[in-house]
């Protein structure tokens, strides 16, 4: 069966510090991968998606970037965090083989102080 992991689960970082959040998927190959941000009490905002290694598409201009160095690994990064980067970050995957829904990781709660 497929599983998706995210780490860390919780992170507190000062303004101006770098960021690296990691997402990995097991049990599938060539998944479509997604990064979302969820502000407190709000819906999900799509940040990045990837259909393959090295292929990243950005949905909104911002202080963040994403990379996909391996088939089942998706990384969200920032060189210098802003207060507005605080939120709950969710990684999701979708099988590229005819499945229709997304499955989500447990999320990372980021607080920028």
Partner 1 sequence: AQTVTQSQPEMSVQEAETVTLSCTYDTSESDYYLFWYKQPPSRQMILVIRQEAYKQQNATENRFSVNFQKAAKSFSLKISDSQLGDAAMYFCAYRTYTSGTYKYIFGTGTRLKVLA
Footprint of partner 1 (CB under 8 A): 32, 34, 38, 42-44, 46, 49, 51, 57, 88, 90, 92, 94, 100-104, 106-107, 109
Could you tell me which of 90, 88, 75 has the C-alpha nearest to residue 19? 75
**Sheet with 73-78: strands ordered across:** 3-7, 19-26, 73-78, 65-70
Q: Considering the complex, what minimum distance in angstroms separates the CB of residue 80 from partner 1? A: 26
CA pair distance 83, 75, nearest whole angstrom: 20
Cβ-based nearer residue to partner 1, 11 or 44: 44
As measured in angstroms, the least distance from the Cβ of 111 to partner 1 is 14
User: In terms of CB distance, is 15 or 55 closer to partner 1?
Assistant: 55
Q: Which is nearer to partner 1, 14 or 97 (CB)?
A: 97
Is the peptide bond preceding residue 41 cis, with omega within 30 degrees of 0? Answer: no
């Amino acid at each position: 069966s497929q599983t998706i992991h995210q780490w860390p689960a919780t992170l507190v970082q000062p303004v101006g510090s770098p960021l690296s959040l990691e997402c990995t998927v097991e049990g599938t190959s060539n998944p479509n991968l997604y990064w979302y941000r969820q502000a407190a009490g709000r819906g999900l905002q799509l940040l990045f998606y990837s259909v393959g290694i090295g292929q990243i598409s950005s949905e909104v201009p911002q202080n963040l970037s994403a990379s996909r160095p391996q088939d089942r690994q998706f990384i969200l990064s920032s060189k210098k965090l802003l207060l507005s980067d605080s939120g709950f970050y969710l990684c999701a995957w979708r099988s590229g083989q005819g499945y229709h829904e997304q499955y989500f990781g447990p999320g990372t709660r980021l607080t920028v102080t």
